[in-house]
Amino acid sequence: MAALMIPANTLAAKRRMRVRSSASRKDHAIVKEFREGCAAPLPVLRRVAEGIAADMRKGLNSDGGHSLPMIPTFVNTLPSGNEEGLFYALDLGGTNFRVLRVQLGGKDGRVIDTEFEQVAIPQDLMFGTSEELFDFIASRLGTFVQKESGKFHLPSGRLREIGFTFSFPVKQTSIDSGILIKWTKGFAVSGTAGKDVVSCLNQAMDRQGLDMRVSALVNDTVGTLAGARYWDDDAMVAVILGTGTNACYVERMDCIPKLQGHLPANGDMIINTEWGAFHDSLPLTEFDKALDAASINPGEQILEKTISGMYLGEVARRVFLKMAESGAMFGGSAPDKLSTPFVLRTPHLCAMQQDQSSDLKLVGKILSDTLGVDDSSLGIREMAIDICDAIVKRGGRLAGAGIVGILQKMDADSKGTIFRKRTVVAMDGGLYENYPHYRKYIKEAVIGLLGSEISKNVVIEHSKDGSGIGAALLAAANSKYAREF
């Protein structure tokens, strides 16, 4: 009888405690081990920064066999602000495909008008043929061009020019041609690797009856750097954190031994690091290794798989699954949803970490709706947040270490000019833009590695949609018509 007198809230508290203590000894051990495996304290970050700087040098020295491809982009002029006219940009990045037009008005007018559209890439096209993918892109571009309004002006007798942002590893052969090395970020399109992606697009535009020309082929990092430089002369590095991750920076020609003898040794060139390929000294867990083994590119893009938006949710899902399978956390059996690769996405992690409610209601809803884990206790919800935090902290801190690695390499080769003055690192990508915790961890790592004084000179700032406008700016800077004057 006495038990019936216990107030309901005490019962609820007891129930919670029972779930926590009985169900979670094993779970706590898994979370603890995972957190330790993911930890990226300063000594680890230092090794990663040094490793990236060392691999950058190797990759600049010669092609092949190194973790960092260090691809010359053939971009040696960044926008000055004087660019004028109507230009298009087309951005094939991973999750979405964007088309954009911009009317540039020179130094005074700057960006007079801009319009863009975004289209999700149908899943089946990611696994289809090259023709199917490029036909889809060209047809959407054609529809967008048809909607051009009177605010945009193309001088008569000219073709519309496009800056093509293509965010996959390309061996660039000139500013307007480049051969696809391999697909990444879950794409497995047949028939493109080894081909010039500009020709693929031109042929598709021909098939669609679309009369345009590609004036610049750029990586999204390069587009972002160009977009940032248009507004700020101190922009020297650009980093993308979206579905995938990559970085580029301004390198001196005399620091690129593999180009010597081919091109003039003075001036600068933007180098696309393809840093997603980096793999040394990273704090990896059994879950990361299993994710890699099950991926379509095992052994490749290890940094990308550790820090970029495509993979963060999947690492978390694998940890939850182990807890379910080990018999404790989710009542001994794994729901079907929890066993489905990639059901848990990075935006879910972000939403869970932002849940401010006392009972972590939103975390409970995501666990239930997305993973099929119903009636989670508060303890389980807290553990879920701990797991998200461990993954995001590692991602943000490693991204910060990568930025420092690039800056240290540049600083060493320029006798201290990078850290002694203001240097801007332009950031873009859906992960950076939408995940405040991730941004905070990047910053913490940079300050931790460089110290508070030097890090004041390193301005890490979001360059919103810089990559789209940047590609259009590079099309303008490399306009076929400009050369005729």
Stretch near Mg ion under the rule CB under 5 A, chosen from 93-101, 119-127, 337-345, 417-425: 93-101
Residues 232-291 interacting with ligand ADP (rule: CB under 6 A): 242-244
Contact between residue 182 and residue 174 where contact means Cβ atoms under 8 Å apart: no
Residue with tokens 């495509």: 310
Q: Which of 128, 142, 191, 347 contacts ligand ADP by CB under 6 A?
A: 347
Angle between helices 8-23 and 378-413 (to 10 degrees): 50
The token pair at 21 is 């203590």
The token pair at 36 is 């330790």
**What is the DSSP code (8-state) at residue 117?**
E
Closest CA to 392 of 40, 47, 46: 40
For residue 184, the partner it binds in Mg ion, ligand ADP, none, with Cβ less than 5 to 8 A by kind, is none
Q: Which of 59, 242, 283, 405 contacts Mg ion by CB under 5 A?
A: 242
CB-based contacts of 74, cutoff 8 Å, min separation 6 = 172, 173, 174, 175, 269
d(CA 439, CA 176): 34
Size of the site for ligand ADP (CB under 6 A): 17
Q: For ligand ADP, what does the binding mask look like between residues 28 and 67, x meaning CB under 6 A?
A: ----------------------------------------
Q: Which is nearer to Mg ion, 235 or 352 (CB)?
A: 235
95 counts as binding ligand ADP under rule CB under 6 A: yes
Q: Which is nearer to Mg ion, 196 or 220 (CB)?
A: 220
Q: Which is nearer to Mg ion, 224 or 281 (CB)?
A: 224
Q: Which is nearer to ligand ADP, 161 or 465 (CB)?
A: 465
Q: Which is nearer to Mg ion, 92 or 363 (CB)?
A: 92
Active site residues: 185, 220
User: Residue 262's CB: how many other CB atoms inside 10 A?
Assistant: 9
Contact between residue 287 and residue 319 where contact means Cβ atoms under 8 Å apart: yes
Could you give the 3-state DSSP secondary structure of residue 236? Answer: strand
CB-based contacts of 318, cutoff 8 Å, min separation 6 = 287, 290, 291
Cα 232 off chain centre by: 22
Beta bridge partners of 306: none
The token pair at 400 is 């910060």
Residues 422-441 interacting with ligand ADP (rule: CB under 6 A): 429-431, 434-435
Q: How far, CA to CA in Å, does 114 sit from each of 110, 394, 420, 468?
A: 11, 37, 36, 10
Minimum distance from residue 288 beta carbon to ligand ADP (Å): 17
d(CA 467, CA 219): 9
User: Residue 411's CB: how many other CB atoms inside 10 A?
Assistant: 19
Minimum distance from residue 124 beta carbon to ligand ADP (Å): 17
For residue 244, the partner it binds in Mg ion, ligand ADP, none, with Cβ less than 5 to 8 A by kind, is ligand ADP
Minimum distance from residue 273 beta carbon to ligand ADP (Å): 16
**Rg of the Cα trace of the chain?**
24
Q: Which of 93, 178, 223, 402 contacts ligand ADP by CB under 6 A?
A: 93
Stretch near ligand ADP under the rule CB under 6 A, chosen from 91-99, 264-272, 284-292, 469-477: 91-99
The token pair at 476 is 């303008």
Stretch near Mg ion under the rule CB under 5 A, chosen from 54-62, 237-245, 285-293, 387-395: 237-245
**What is the DSSP code (8-state) at residue 275?**
G
Closest CA to 247 of 403, 412, 445: 403
93 counts as binding Mg ion under rule CB under 5 A: yes
For residue 285, the partner it binds in ligand ADP, Mg ion, none, with Cβ less than 5 to 8 A by kind, is none
In the complex, which residue's CB is closest to Mg ion? Answer: 93
372 counts as binding ligand ADP under rule CB under 6 A: no
Stretch near Mg ion under the rule CB under 5 A, chosen from 51-59, 88-96, 186-194, 356-364: 88-96
Q: Which is nearer to Mg ion, 72 or 242 (CB)?
A: 242
Q: Which is nearer to ligand ADP, 31 or 431 (CB)?
A: 431
d(CA 393, CA 444): 10
Minimum distance from residue 308 beta carbon to ligand ADP (Å): 7
The token pair at 47 is 């090794």
Q: Which is nearer to ligand ADP, 280 or 300 (CB)?
A: 300
Which residues contribute to the site for Mg ion (CB under 5 A)?
93, 220, 242
Which residues contribute to the site for ligand ADP (CB under 6 A)?
93-96, 242-244, 309-310, 346-347, 350, 429-431, 434-435
